[in-house]
């Protein structure tokens, strides 16, 4: 990849080369698990088991699985609030993720974060972030920290920082890209371009709507990939991560994706045309990948159905685990208030006194007017 931009790639061809049937089945299983999980999460939201905001990866499954397939366990991931699928593919476990959505003590963030804030230090998934673009400066700093650990090379660690299309208009994006390019940081900025902010189209929000080009001010290469093609996403992400590892060249990867539902579970997406919605359904990556695998003989209808049934079982078990898990104890409200506890840290509930009055309180002693 040279120059400021690469050309868009579509990579069905990549699926043919050097990938085992087991790997392809695994990718399909992951995509189906995400699909099942998200549909169930939507249902659980309607049943008020899940509170707050809830953003789904429906339609984004191929992008999620392709990106996570390229990311090594030694790499770090920072992502957005649309994070359930990434957590699943990063191996956080459907039960612990659903438990977090339910606000349970067994959740990946102990019930402190909810849907938008999935985190697992051991898996090096350093957050879902609820503030648009908030993850970009810390992800950039994580990449800076890696430069103190060792030099570039094929085994070096790298950072992947995900964001949506709307995020590329935020100042933090541009400040961070400048730092990453200036300091040669091992990071890949992945833009999941589902073509809508909440309801605002990219063309109405970005003066350069070909988002992979937005690094040109920082001499940062960019590539656009078809986000509905899991193998193309994987190959493009692996190439970008390789640049980060071996040359400490940060880059942009833009995955053209599609949101099958509204911005969040409560958004009916009335701003979308009938044609738009129909096209999305026609290009739904999950049935498309299924058909592709059956056509190429990797799966048949029975084995595909078995994978789907297994995903349903996993999600049902996750819901049961979340349901049965305890709520966090109110007594533990302040347990993570500070990493270094110090005197005077207030652990008060609303209405508690701010300070205790000593027993030798003078009480109703009349004011003497001049206690000198």
Partner 1 sequence: MSEMTYREALRSTLRREMQRDDSVVLLGEEIGVFEGSYKITSGLLAEFGETRVRDTPIAEEGFIGAGIGMAMLGMRPVVEVMTINFTLLAIDQIVNHAAKIYAMFGGQVAVPMVIRTPGGGGQQLAATHSQNLEVWYAHVPGLKVVAPSNPADAKALLTASIRDDDPVLFLENLALYNTKGEVPDGEQVGEIGKAAVAKPGTDVTVVSYSRATLIALEVARQFEKQGVSVEVVDLRSLRPLDRETVCASVRKTSRAVVLEDDWLTYGVGAELAATIQEGAFDYLDAPVRRVAAAEIPLPYAKPLENAALPTADDLTKVINEVLDATRFTG
The single-letter DSSP state of residue 133 is T
The continuous run of DSSP H or E covering 95 comes out as: helix 94-101
How far apart, in whole angstroms, are the C-alpha atoms of residue 227 and residue 116?
22
Q: Which residue has the tokens 């039960």?
A: 95
Beta carbon nearer to partner 1, 140 or 193: 140
Question: Could you tell me the smallest distance in angstroms from the CB atom of residue 92 to partner 1?
Answer: 12
CB closer to partner 1 out of 83 and 284: 83
Q: Does 213 interact with partner 1 (rule: CB under 8 A)?
A: no
Per-residue string for binding with partner 1, 91-130, x by CB under 8 A?
A: ----------------xxxxxxx---x-xxx----xx-x-
**Two tokens, residue 323:** 């349901």
Dihedral sign for Cα 306, 307, 309, 313, please. Answer: positive
CB 336 within 8 A of CB 117: no
Query: What is the closest distance, in whole angstroms, from the C-beta atom of residue 181 to partner 1 in the complex?
Result: 11
Q: How far is 289 from 266, CA to CA, in rounded Å?
A: 28
Say whether residue 358 binds partner 1 (CB under 8 A): yes
Residue 188 vs 311, nearer CB to partner 1 = 188
Told to check if 178 binds partner 1 by CB under 8 A, we report: yes
The distance of closest approach from Cβ of residue 338 to partner 1 in the complex, given in angstroms and rounded to an integer, is: 5
Touching partner 1, residues 139-168 (CB under 8 A): 139-148
79: nearest Cα among 152, 200, 167, 156 = 167
Q: How far is the CB of 20 from partner 1 (least distance, A)?
A: 34
Which DSSP category does 166 fall into? G
Binder among 27, 37, 76, 81 for partner 1 (CB under 8 A):
76
CA angle 162, 172, 78 (to 5 degrees): 25
Token pair listed for 77: 């991931």
Binding site for partner 1 (CB under 8 A): 76, 78, 107-113, 117, 119-121, 126-127, 129, 131, 134, 136-148, 171-172, 175-176, 178-179, 182, 335-340, 342-346, 353-358, 361-365, 367-372
């Amino acid at each position: 990849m040279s120059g400021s931009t690469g050309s868009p790639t579509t990579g069905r061809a990549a699926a043919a080369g050097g990938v085992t049937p087991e790997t392809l089945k695994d990718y399909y299983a992951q995509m189906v698990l995400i699909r099942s999980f998200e549909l169930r999460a939507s249902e659980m939201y309607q049943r008020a088991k899940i509170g707050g905001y809830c953003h789904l990866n429906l339609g984004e499954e191929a992008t999620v699985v392709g990106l996570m397939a390229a990311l090594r366990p030694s790499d770090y991931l920072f992502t957005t609030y649309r994070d359930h699928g990434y957590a699943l593919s990063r191996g956080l476990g459907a039960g612990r993720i659903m438990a977090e959505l339910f606000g349970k003590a067994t959740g990946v963030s102990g019930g402190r974060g909810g849907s938008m804030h999935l985190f697992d230090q051991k898996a090096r998934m350093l957050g879902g972030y609820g503030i648009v673009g908030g993850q970009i400066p810390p992800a950039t700093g994580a990449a800076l920290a890696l430069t103190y650990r060792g030099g570039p090379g094929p085994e070096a660690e790298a950072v992947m920082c995900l964001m949506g299309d709307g995020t590329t208009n935020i100042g933090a994006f541009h400040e961070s890209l400048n730092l990453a390019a200036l300091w040669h940081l091992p990071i890949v900025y992945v833009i999941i371009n589902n073509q809508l902010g909440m309801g605002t189209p990219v063309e109405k929000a970005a003066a350069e709507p070909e988002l992979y080009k937005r690094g040109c001010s920082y001499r940062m290469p960019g590539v656009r990939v078809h986000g509905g093609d899991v193998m193309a996403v994987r190959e493009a992400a692996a190439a970008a991560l390789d640049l980060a590892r071996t040359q400490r060249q940060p880059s942009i990867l833009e995955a053209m994706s599609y949101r099958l539902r509204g911005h969040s579970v409560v958004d009916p997406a009335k701003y979308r045309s009938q044609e738009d919605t129909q096209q999305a359904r026609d290009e739904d990556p999950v049935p498309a990948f299924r058909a592709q695998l059956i056509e190429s003989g990797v799966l048949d209808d029975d084995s595909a159905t078995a994978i789907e049934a297994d995903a349903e079982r996993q999600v049902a078990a996750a819901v049961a685990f979340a349901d049965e898990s305890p709520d966090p104890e109110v007594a533990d409200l302040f347990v993570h208030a500070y990493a270094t506890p110090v005197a005077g840290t207030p652990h008060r509930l609303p209405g508690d006194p701010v300070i205790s009055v000593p027993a030798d309180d003078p009480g109703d002693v009349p004011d003497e007017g001049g206690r000198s």
